[in-house]
Structure 1
């Protein structure tokens, strides 16, 4: 797989995707980052060697979201009339949302710096967010006379509740890493130099779990809020039947019994 504006590595079951367009603060428009994300999501879902994915940014920003210079010049993703721009959203950045939400392994956003607009929304598509003390977060679309066009209004209220999501979205204000922690947007705040160490530590622990059961559990976690309990329990029974046939389950049970005999 060839990525244009990102770096990808895989070690000990942990894939790390690093945005490498620090010249434009890792903007998601006007770059190939969305296409890179789509390619990585498809690769992860088809690669049994991956047990967890970390997404981070190179340079000072995680992602600045939309390229404001392109907006000002009405070029690239923002060129043309309303119908053209709408079609470009559907064919472009909106493809990122279901792709990232559909990644079958745990996804950790290691937010190294500002995550603004669509960059904030991308972080919220991940399962877990760890923040550098240099990170900042903002649902800033209204400040530019725009709406969250990539699904941010759907994501944020599910993360922190309707009222808090409204306050952040309607004000467009930027919050610090520590406030993001208090709001429940991020799980932990780390010193800048410790962020990737902590993200990799967490990712390796998750990647050490049985792979098939982890992927099925991720599907359950994503489906649970949208399903009736009886339907959800039926799905659990189906997935559990698969797990009981998995050699990793048999090995884990045997290892536990060995430890109990010591």
Structure 2
């Protein structure tokens, strides 16, 4: 296994972004943020990539922000702390936005602890599949912080506002079974099956027309903030694009040819 903090690979149309510092439980530091951004931009631009799986090496998915980085940040002169933090937040938000807005299906394959920013990263994906031993915690409050990686946007949309407040305020650990029951995640599988199950699900979700999938995702991701009329209007624009694609033309031609037999 590479000693890089991020391992990015593509096999059979499925990209895998693997957080890869298992000795530290895969925390996210400045270098990791930069490599995540690079990998996600590559996945978005590569036409051979049909879906993305995000996972971790070893016994954890992601322990969250790097505490050594936090210590270094706080050791800076007081007048620099806020601005340095603001810049770092911008990089974090860039990575999470790229993941959330990727025009392809995304799956978090959570192989262990998903804590703090790690939980945010998992929730930024379209779907979350967890190993039976996995657990989730919005652990920011234990560090005197608030969720800063999109969790305050993603979590209420999955579990409802009251559940989200309870998980953020308490910072308590949620096991895979409870996370499934409350709608925080979509699937739980045996630990040994996680990698192959995530890849198989990614292939299933990405088997259709790439333009249609990307356009449908772009509307669905904004639909909770839009009126019914706005969803129809955005859908009409997207459908007009679909009408021009080779996939649509080929599908209609194949159907008509089959009906002649």
* TM-score over 0.5 (shorter chain): yes
Map of 1:208-223 to 2, 5 A cutoff?
208-223=207-222
Deviation at 1:197, TM superposition (A): 1.1
- Contact kept, 8 Å, 1:44 with 1:104, in 2: the verdict is no
Q: 1:78 to 1:47 in 2, by over 3 A?
A: farther
- Contact kept, 8 Å, 1:13 with 1:208, in 2: the verdict is no
Map of 1:154-233 to 2, 5 A cutoff?
154-233=153-232
CA RMSD of aligned residues (A): 1.9
* Paired position in structure 1 for 2:243: 244
* Paired position in structure 1 for 2:132: 133
Q: 1:259 to 1:123 in 2, by over 3 A?
A: farther
Q: 1:191 to 1:257 in 2, by over 3 A?
A: farther
Q: 1:139 to 1:247 in 2, by over 3 A?
A: same
Aligned partners of 1:98 and 1:120: how far apart in 2?
Answer: 15
* Paired position in structure 1 for 2:24: 24
- Contact kept, 8 Å, 2:124 with 2:150, in 1: the verdict is no
Map of 1:82-121 to 2, 5 A cutoff?
82-121=81-120
Deviation at 1:256, TM superposition (A): 3.8
Aligned partners of 2:75 and 2:211: how far apart in 1?
Answer: 44
The answer for unaligned runs of 5 or more in structure 1 is: none
Deviation at 1:260, TM superposition (A): 5.5
* Paired position in structure 2 for 1:5: 5
Q: 1:227 to 1:148 in 2, by over 3 A?
A: same
Deviation at 1:95, TM superposition (A): 2.2
1:254 to 2:253 alignment: yes
- Contact kept, 8 Å, 1:117 with 1:141, in 2: the verdict is yes
* Paired position in structure 2 for 1:151: 150
* Paired position in structure 1 for 2:48: 49
Deviation at 1:187, TM superposition (A): 0.7
Q: 1:259 to 1:10 in 2, by over 3 A?
A: farther
* Paired position in structure 2 for 1:122: 121
2:61 partner SS:
coil
* Paired position in structure 2 for 1:65: 64
- Contact kept, 8 Å, 2:112 with 2:134, in 1: the verdict is yes
2:62 partner SS:
coil
- Contact kept, 8 Å, 1:13 with 1:207, in 2: the verdict is no
1:39 to 2:38 alignment: yes
Q: 1:48 to 1:165 in 2, by over 3 A?
A: same
- Bigger drift between 111-120 and 154-163 goes to 154-163
2:52 partner SS:
strand
- Contact kept, 8 Å, 1:14 with 1:52, in 2: the verdict is yes
Aligned partners of 2:187 and 2:74: how far apart in 1?
Answer: 35
Deviation at 1:79, TM superposition (A): 4.2
Q: 1:139 to 1:259 in 2, by over 3 A?
A: farther
